[in-house]
Amino acid sequence: MLVGKVVGTIVSTRKNEKLIGSKFMVIEPLEKLGDPKSKIVAVDNVGAGIGEIVLVATGSAARIGCEMQTAPVDAAIVGIVDNGIGLPEL
């Protein structure tokens, strides 16, 4: 799991049928994963908005966390951070 900031959205009119109705957000990890410009796309089932700090599950845990076990999902927003001690200033 990682902590990141929602920095944008993705609109896709054509996608896998198991992703129809899903909202996609662009996440900038707070720990940059080695690349200062790295970003990921995550399915959002919790209603996060741009500028919010979120918890993102990755890998097979992402599919379980958003109840999409058979969908091609590798990252999912599973929580919105209300308060975080030790998080960098944004």
**8, 26 contact by CB (below 8 A):** yes
For the stretch 3-54, pLDDT in tens is 999 999 999 888 888 888 889 999 999 876 556 568 999 999 899 999 999 9
Strand partners, 27: 6, 40
Q: Does the residue 87 lie in any domain?
A: no
CA distance 40 to 7: 10
* Residue 65 confidence (pLDDT) above 90: no
Phi, psi of 4 (to 5 degrees): -150, 175
Domain that holds residue 48: 2-80
74 pLDDT band (50/70/90 cuts)? confident
**62, 40 contact by CB (below 8 A):** no
67 pLDDT band (50/70/90 cuts)? low
Q: How many domains are there within the chain?
A: 1
Q: Does the residue 86 lie in any domain?
A: no
pLDDT of residue 71: 78
**Reduced to 3 states, what is the DSSP secondary structure of residue 16?**
coil
CATH of the domain at 27: 2.40.50.220
